[in-house]
């Protein structure tokens, strides 16, 4: 019984950084909303986080394509 279940389970490769762009877009939207509301500090911090997430994503993408 256990062996039959183990034979049907397919291995899934590990993925790193799959949602960095999603997080960057989330922080970008948060920055825009905060800027519209008038919270300039939150908007600036959110924009910096979004910028660094995009930079990390691009670096990881380049490393992935090279290797």
**pLDDT interval class at 37 (50, 70, 90):** very high
pLDDT at 52: 92
pLDDT at 11 over 90: no
pLDDT in tens, 52-65: 999 998 998 899 88
DSSP string, the chain: -HHHHHHHPPP----SSTTHHHHHHHHHHHHHHHHHHT-HHHHHHHHHHHHHHHHHHHHHHHHHHH-
CA distance 25 to 37: 18
Average pLDDT, integer, range 24-44: 91
HSE-up (13 A, CA, CB side) for residue 54: 11
**pLDDT interval class at 20 (50, 70, 90):** confident
Question: What ranges do the domains of the chain cover?
Answer: 18-53
pLDDT at 21: 83
């Amino acid at each position: 019984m256990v062996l039959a279940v183990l034979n049907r389970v397919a291995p899934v490769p590990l993925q790193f950084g799959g949602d960095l762009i999603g997080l960057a877009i989330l922080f970008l939207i948060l920055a825009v909303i905060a800027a519209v509301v008038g919270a300039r500090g939150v908007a600036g911090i959110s924009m910096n986080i979004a910028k660094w997430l995009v930079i990390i994503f691009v670096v990881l993408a380049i490393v992935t394509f090279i290797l």
